[in-house]
Amino acid sequence: MKKLQQQLLDWFQENARELPWRKTYTPYHVWISEIMLQQTQMDRVVDYFNRWISRFPDLKSIAGACEQDVLKLWEGLGYYSRARNIIKSANILVAEYCGKLPADHNQLLKLPGIGKYTAGAIMSIAFNKEYPLVDANIERVFARLFNLAQPVKDKKTSAFIWRKAGDLLPYGKAREFNQALMELGALVCIAKNPRCKICPIKTDCQAFSFDLVAKRPVLNAPAKTIFIEMATGILEQNGRILIQKRKPKGVWANLWEFPGGRLEAGETPEMALVREYLEETELAVGNLKKITTVKHSYTIYRVTLHCYFCSLMDGRLEPVLHGAQEYRWVKPEELSDFALPAGHRKLVDHLQNEMGLFM
């Protein structure tokens, strides 16, 4: 075991990527990076991380921050509950922990948005304490290293992986060792065509020795993809555009959007848009002009968003909201100040970049 540990540590020392949070391992930096990395690829996270640290250089600067500022900074990363949980946790940490992340696994687990993985990451990477962590990279490495014949998410297999991740941790080297495992999964023991020839632990790898690498990890049946069609409309009146703020709970909570919604059975996008405007705002719209169709994905959903310009069909100008908490008439150039869901941001980008509007 010592040989495997040392091989991994040596490999990490030679091959670790330079990442902004690896400069000082400040607990605040490690925490923010780990939350961002939960659902997002490393190459995208680095830019977001740097922007975040410029705007919120320390934990105290987030406590009491305006949620819209935080969501705007998070725009494009998705899974916005992560950003909201950072604000909640920062407020707790300032109120109860003198504005610092505690070096205590149980206390970390009580903070919103921090589960077993993130608590293990903060304890080991920020504080160099002997706590394991298991992410998708480590699951894949262990499925091959120990030649696991069950899917890694199976209860018993998952418990085995966590136990092994703890057993393998060398004393005093948790920071480097946990990162070495994840880095190996990201750079060498990759999902397709792993680079076994240059792998520092190939002599210990059971799947490699049994020629089963291509069959590990064993995969679960893929989650069923759900296709959704939606319609949205940009309503302009006196040079201003109507946007509404989604309710504080549910998908895309507290983000701003153009009114619209899902197509019902038998509806065309145009019919759905007129109906949704009436249901959500009590505004009658018509004169629909197609702008574009935007496609985007989140979790298992594949969304097709039909986008239109529309006009008011009667004298009523002020909406009565049924699907949102607030509305505003904003100048087109002000749209960049609001955090929008991915599909609506793509629509604004299309208007600006493809049609030269809303600049």
Considering only 205, 231, 235, 310, the residue that binds ligand SF4 (CB under 6 A) is 205
Which residue, 89 or 178, has its beta carbon nearer to ligand SF4? 178
Q: Does 213 bind ligand SF4 (CB under 6 A)?
A: yes
Which residue, 102 or 185, has its beta carbon nearer to ligand SF4? 185
| Ranges within 124-163 binding ligand SF4 (CB under 6 A) | 141, 144-145
Provide the 8-state DSSP code for 221.
Answer: P
Number of residues forming the site for ligand SF4 (CB under 6 A): 15
Question: What span, in angstroms and rounded, lies between the C-alpha atoms of 104 and 93?
Answer: 13
Interaction mask 171-190, ligand SF4, x per CB under 6 A: -----------------xx-
Considering only 194, 233, 259, 341, the residue that binds ligand SF4 (CB under 6 A) is 194
Considering only 45, 199, 234, 288, the residue that binds ligand SF4 (CB under 6 A) is 199
Q: Could you tell me where the DSSP H helices lie in the chain?
A: 2-15, 27-37, 42-55, 59-62, 67-74, 81-96, 105-109, 116-121, 136-145, 155-167, 174-187, 206-209, 269-281, 342-353
Which residue, 217 or 341, has its beta carbon nearer to ligand SF4? 217
CB of 206 to ligand SF4, least distance (A): 8
34 a catalytic residue: yes
CB of 147 to ligand SF4, least distance (A): 9
Considering only 56, 117, 208, 308, the residue that binds ligand SF4 (CB under 6 A) is 208
Catalytic residue among 14, 18, 34, 280: 34
CB of 217 to ligand SF4, least distance (A): 10
- At 100, is the secondary structure helix, strand, or coil? coil
CB of 64 to ligand SF4, least distance (A): 46
CB of 137 within 8 A of CB of 165? Answer: no
Structure tokens of 54?
A: 């410029």
Q: Does 245 bind ligand SF4 (CB under 6 A)?
A: no
**Near ligand SF4 by CB under 6 A, which window of 8-16, 48-56, 203-211, 306-314?**
203-211
In this structure, the number of other CB atoms found within 10 A of the CB of residue 115 comes to: 11
Question: What span, in angstroms and rounded, lies between the C-alpha atoms of 301 and 291?
Answer: 23
Which residue, 17 or 195, has its beta carbon nearer to ligand SF4? 195
Residue 130: which of 163, 70, 173, 182 has the closest Cα?
Answer: 173
Residue 217: which of 136, 135, 143, 161 has the closest Cα?
Answer: 143
Cis bond before residue 319 (omega within 30° of 0): no
- For 248, phi and psi rounded to 5 degrees? -70, -10
Structure tokens of 87?
A: 């604000």
Q: Put residue 266 in one of left, alpha, beta given phi > 0 → left and psi -120 to 50 → alpha.
A: left
CB of 213 within 8 A of CB of 196? Answer: yes
| Ranges within 48-87 binding ligand SF4 (CB under 6 A) | none
Structure tokens of 102?
A: 């505690």
**Near ligand SF4 by CB under 6 A, which window of 21-29, 151-159, 165-173, 192-200?**
192-200
CB of 11 to ligand SF4, least distance (A): 10
Question: What span, in angstroms and rounded, lies between the C-alpha atoms of 89 and 72?
Answer: 18
CB of 133 to ligand SF4, least distance (A): 18
CB of 4 to ligand SF4, least distance (A): 10
Which residue, 72 or 144, has its beta carbon nearer to ligand SF4? 144
Q: Site residues (CB under 6 A) for ligand SF4?
A: 141, 144-145, 188-189, 194-196, 199, 201-202, 205, 207-208, 213
Catalytic positions: 34
